[in-house]
C-alpha cells in the first residue's frame, strides 16, 4: 500500500510540474519586439522595435501612432507549448519599403508563426516578403 501511495504521489507531482510548465502565464510581462525585413528587389529593407505586454499568453504591442501612416499593431496568441500565432495590422509608411509601393497610410494585414521558449521567442514572416521576428522578455 505504501508503494502504491508513493507512486500516486510521484505521478501527481510529475503531472503538476508538467502542467505548470505549460501555463501560458509564464510568458506574462514586458517584451521587446524586433522585426527585420531585409531589402528585396521590390522593396527597401526596414527594421522596427517596440515594447509589448503579454497577459495570459496574449502579446499586444504597437509601433508608431495607431491609425497613422507607418504604424502597426501586433497581437500574438502564445499556446501552452510555446508555439504562437502572430497577427499584424497597420498602415504603410514609405512606399519604397513596401512591395507594390502603396501610398502612405494604406491598410495592411499579415500573419506569421512564432515559437516562445523561456525569455525568448522568434518567428518568420513568409507571406509576400520574408521578415524575421524576435522577442526578448525584459
The listed CATH number (3.40.30, 2.40.128, 3.40.720, 3.30.379) that belongs to domain 24-137: 2.40.128
Interacting residues of 120 by C-beta distance below 8 A, sequence separation 6+: 134, 135, 136, 137
pLDDT tens-digit readout, 17-62: 455 457 999 999 999 999 999 999 999 999 999 999 999 999 999 9
Helices (H), the chain: 2-21
Rg of the chain over Cα atoms, rounded to whole angstroms, equals 20
Mean pLDDT score across all residues of the chain: 90
Q: Of the ranges 11-15, 18-22, 131-135, which is most confident?
A: 131-135
Spatial contact of 67 and 91, defined as CB atoms under 8 Å apart: yes
Yes or no: say if 121 and 115 are a contact pair by the CB < 8 Å rule.
yes
Query: CA nearest 103: which of 116, 94, 112?
Result: 94
- Residue 130: strand, helix, or coil: coil
- Cell numbers placing 110: 499579415
Cβ atoms < 10 Å from Cβ of 138: 9
Whole-angstrom distance, CA of residue 130 vs CA of residue 7: 50
Report which of residues 57 and 16 the model is more confident about: 57
What local confidence, expressed as pLDDT, does residue 13 receive? 42
Q: Which three cell numbers stand for residue 118?
A: 523561456
Amino acid at each position: 500500500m505504501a508503494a502504491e501511495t508513493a507512486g500516486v504521489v510521484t505521478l501527481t507531482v510529475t503531472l503538476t510540474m508538467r502542467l505548470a510548465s505549460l501555463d501560458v502565464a509564464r510568458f506574462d510581462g514586458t517584451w521587446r519586439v524586433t522585426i527585420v525585413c531585409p531589402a528585396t528587389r521590390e522593396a527597401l529593407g526596414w527594421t522596427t522595435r517596440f515594447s509589448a505586454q503579454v497577459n495570459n499568453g496574449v502579446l499586444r504591442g504597437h509601433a508608431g501612432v495607431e491609425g497613422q501612416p507607418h504604424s502597426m499593431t501586433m497581437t500574438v496568441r502564445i499556446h501552452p507549448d510555446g508555439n504562437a500565432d502572430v497577427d499584424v495590422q497597420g498602415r504603410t509608411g514609405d512606399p519604397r519599403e513596401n512591395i507594390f509601393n502603396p501610398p502612405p497610410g494604406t491598410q495592411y494585414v499579415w500573419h506569421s508563426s512564432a515559437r516562445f521558449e523561456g525569455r525568448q521567442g522568434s518567428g518568420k514572416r513568409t507571406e509576400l516578403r520574408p521578415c524575421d521576428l524576435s522577442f526578448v522578455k525584459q
